Amino acid sequence: MEKVTIATVAQRAGVSRQTVSNVINTPDVVREETRERVREAISALGYRVNQAARQMRTGRSRLIAVRIEPARDGINGSVLDRFLHGLTDAAGLAGYRVMLYTADGDDAEIATYDELLNAYDLDAFVLTSTHHGDPRTSWLAARDVPFVTFGRPWGAPETHSWVDIDNAAGTAAATEHLLAAGHQRIGFLGWPAGSGVGDARREGWHRALGPWGPVGEATDGVESGAVAARKMLQNDPPTAIVCASDSLALGALQAARELGRECAVIGFDDTAVARAIGLTSVSQPLAEAAGRCMDLLRELLDGHAPSHPTNVLLPPSLVVRQTA
C-alpha cells in the first residue's frame, strides 16, 4: 500500500496540489466540476490529510489536552472519568483529538503545559478541578493559550470561559425534595469550608432550608463521613441529611444503620456506588458539560473568538432512589 499524499490525489484528478488543498480547506473557491473530480479522487484513493505536515505550516494540531488524575477516592474519581468520556466524544465530532497527561501538582502541570505546547503544538487545554488561587489559568492566559475550565475560577477574576455545574442548585433541589416529603430537620454533611465546590453545595442546602440545620464536617471518605454523621445523629438528630458527596452519604448511611436511626440520605455525583446501593443522589450532566466545553473551545479556536469570555452554568438533576 503506497503512501497517498496530496500530490497523489492531484495527479489522479489532473490538477495541482494547491487545488486539492483548496477543495479540502476552502471548497468555495474551486469550480464545482473540479471540486467533484477531486473529491472523487480523494475517496477513491482513501486519502487523509497528514496532520503533522499541516501542523507544520499552520501551527495548529487539532489536539487538545486534558489531565487525567490518579483515581483518588475511587468513588468520586469516576466523575472526571465520565467527563473525559464525554469530552473525547465531543472532540471527535468536532475533528479534534484528546491527548492525556498526568501531573503531580500545579507546578508540575504547568511544566507539562510548556512541554506539550512546544513539542506537540497543542491547540488548547481543558482544565478540571479548579480551585482557589489556581496558578494554571494565569499561566495559560499570560501566554495566550486557548483554554476552558470545567469548574469556575474560584476567587480569581473571570477572564476566561468556563463551564460549571450549579452545585448550589443541586443541594437545593435535594433539600426541597426532602422538605416536600415532610422532613423538617434536615442536616448537611460536607467538607471543611474553603473548597469552592463544597461551599457552594452547603450554600444550596442553606438557601432551600432557611435558618436552621445541623452541620457536620468531614474530609471526603466513607470513614470520615460516618464519624461526623454519628456525631450529628447523637447530638441534635436530623431526620434527613444532604451530603456533599456519595462517599459522605455512604458514611451517613452506615452511621444511621449502626445507631438504628431512620434517616433519609441524599448524596452528590450519582456515582456507580449510588446506583448500586440505591442511594438518592444529585447527578451532574457530565456529557453535556463536556460538550459545552468543546463548544467554547471551538469558539476560541475556529476564529471568531468572542471578545468577552462565556460562562455556562448547568443545572444538575436529582435521581431519586430508595434512601430518600
Enumerate binding residues for DNA (CB under 7 A): 3, 5-7, 14-22, 24-25, 29-31, 33-35, 47-50, 53-54, 56-58
What pairing do the DSSP bridges indicate for beta strands 186-190 and 147-150?
unpaired
Q: Cα–Cα distance between 66 and 77 in angstroms, integer?
A: 15
- Give kind and range of the element (H or E) at residue 176: helix 167-180
Site for a second copy in 136-175 (CB under 8 A): 143
CB of 298 to DNA, least distance (A): 18
CB of 30 to DNA, least distance (A): 4
CB of 42 to DNA, least distance (A): 10
All three cell numbers of 192: 471543611
Angle at Cα 101 formed by Cα 301 and Cα 201, nearest 5°? 80
Q: Are 215 and 202 in contact (CB under 8 A)?
A: yes
In one letter, which amino acid is 156? A
- Residue number, 35 or 152, with CB nearest to DNA: 35
Q: Are 255 and 234 in contact (CB under 8 A)?
A: no
Q: Which residue has the cell 493559550?
A: 145
Query: Is residue 296 within the footprint of a second copy (CB under 8 A)?
Result: no
- Residue number, 68 or 313, with CB nearest to a second copy: 68
Query: Is residue 71 within the footprint of a second copy (CB under 8 A)?
Result: yes
20: three-class secondary structure by DSSP: helix
Query: Is residue 247 within the footprint of a second copy (CB under 8 A)?
Result: yes
All three cell numbers of 274: 449510588
Query: Is residue 77 within the footprint of a second copy (CB under 8 A)?
Result: yes
Sites of contact with a second copy (CB under 8 A): 1, 4, 46, 48-53, 55-56, 61, 63, 68-71, 73-75, 77-78, 81-82, 84-85, 88-89, 92, 97-102, 114-115, 118-121, 143, 222, 247, 250, 271-273, 275-277
